[in-house]
Structure 1
Amino acid sequence: MNHNQSEVARIRAQIEAELSGAKQGLEGFAETAKHRFITERMAAGCNEIAEVVGAQEARRIVCEIMEKIG
């Protein structure tokens, strides 16, 4: 696995964990999450991954994660 692939995997796991936590918060299984915080974290993760793979691929990855989480 090259450096870019491992960096994408790291960022992807971070985004997935944050979105999963946000989903739980919104569904009442954790403390209520603030919508602004969730939106900011999603944007930050997307921007970070875009630096590695480009904006279009970053959006695709984030959408894939969101579909996975439900």
Structure 2
Amino acid sequence: MLSRPVDVRELVAAEASWIAVESSVYSAVPLLVTLAVGLPVGPALLLVAFTAGMWLLAVRGMNRRLLD
């Protein structure tokens, strides 16, 4: 990783992107398992998935601004 010509801004953007994707996956898996098993989906579970999606979009926008 350090041998490649990577700027610090690119490292920060990549790390933030990975955190956003990871948190979105970790919040979507309980929702998918709940749906697969057939349990009723409560509003709290949907709020977690919505919040993770908004976090993913926010980090995406931050990365665009950071790398320009």
| TM-score, structure 1 as length reference | 0.54
The structure 1 segments of at least 4 consecutive aligned residues displaced by more than 3 Å after TM superposition are none
| TM-score, structure 2 as length reference | 0.55
Deviations for 1:34-57, whole angstroms, at most 9, x for unmatched residues?
342232112211221222212xxx
Flag the 1:21–1:33 CA change in 2: closer, same or farther, 3 A. Answer: farther
- Count of equivalent residues: 52
* Percent identity between the two aligned chains: 6
- Unaligned runs of 5+ residues in structure 1 are 55-70
- Unaligned runs of 5+ residues in structure 2 are 1-9, 62-68
